[in-house]
A = this chain, B = another copy of it.
Amino acid sequence: MRRRRVTLLAGGVGGAKMAEGFAALADVELTVIGNVADDEAFHGLWVSPDIDTVTYTLAGLINRDQGWGVADEAGRALEVLKTLGEDTWMFLGDRDFGLHIHRTARRARGERPSVIARDVARAFGVEAEIVLPTDDRVQTKVETDAGWIGFQDYFVRQQCAPEVKALRYDGIEAARPTPEALAALAGADLIVIAPSNPLVSIRPILGIPGIAEAVKQAAAPVVAVSPLIAGRVVKGPADRMMAALGHRVDAVGIAEIYAGLAGSLVIDEADAALAGGVRAAGPEPVIRPTLMTDLAGKRRLAGEILALCPEPVA
């Protein structure tokens, strides 16, 4: 029996955990469609935090303690940049700089960002395919009391402290989906929406013209995983952001966001009482323990999601 093709839509840390779970399953051929909308230029170099978190995680290079960045990292280059008067609130380690230098040089030569991301993943030994949803520039901006700011400014510099009044995704209307992303959705046996932030990780993927349509038209079942457990996220600002933007901050709120797209929504056992509300919103609720604290937990959750998918015919 051939391996099952799982296409995962994933943001940063939460998406990387889910990706690791599927990558650990021997009978899965994994493609990750990552988020590029938190990309930003620092010191003239193009930085792709979400994509790199997935790549580093699947390559086994991730700093396990913090969940992002590279192990055996140091900050000599950034220290010099600070001495030279540059703003260095965005931590970029020396190994990480190597990647950003490489990516920036290749982008400057006109190479497709998605080809660069694929080559980088392969060079680091990642077996899964890492696919960009678009080669065009899409950037999440956050409206705060102080006006519109860049996502990394909100997320890293201000540590998600400001109240979010609105979000926009600059460039998304004009962005074109990559053929690789469309193919990964059309050819999937199972499409999974990772327990990432639905508003700043998944929406800027789905909002690229053609991507949501490709998900809807795909033959494969679409399973979303709620990032909320008992109304709270494990990590990040998704819960506060959902509240601030008028969403219900629970599994039903997630179901409402993915209604019409996901046939099923995996919700945590702690949220079993919300199953009826989820079903009423659209997706069929699937109750499982969703906390991924170690590799065994990631693999278990991935396996349980895979079990929702019919065996492939050929």
Chain A residues in the interface with B (C-beta under 8 A): 43-45, 72-74, 76-81, 83-86, 93-99, 101-102, 104-105, 108, 119-120, 123-124
Contacts and interface: CB of A to CB of B under 8 A. Distances in A.
B98 A101 contact: no
A293 B222 CA distance: 72
A43 B101 contact: yes
Contacts of A73: 76
Name the prevailing secondary structure of the A interface residues: helix
A47 B87 CA distance: 22
A114 to B, nearest CB: 16
Contacts of A95: 76-77, 79-80
Max chain B C-beta neighbours (<10 A), residue from A94, A97, A102, A120: A94
Contacts of A108: 44
A105 B44 CA distance: 5
A82 to B, nearest CB: 8
Given A76-B73, A76-B74, A81 B94 contact: no
14 contacts: A43-B105, A45-B101, A72-B76, A74-B74, A74-B94, A76-B76, A76-B95, A77-B77, A80-B102, A83-B98, A83-B124, A84-B98, A84-B120, A85-B123
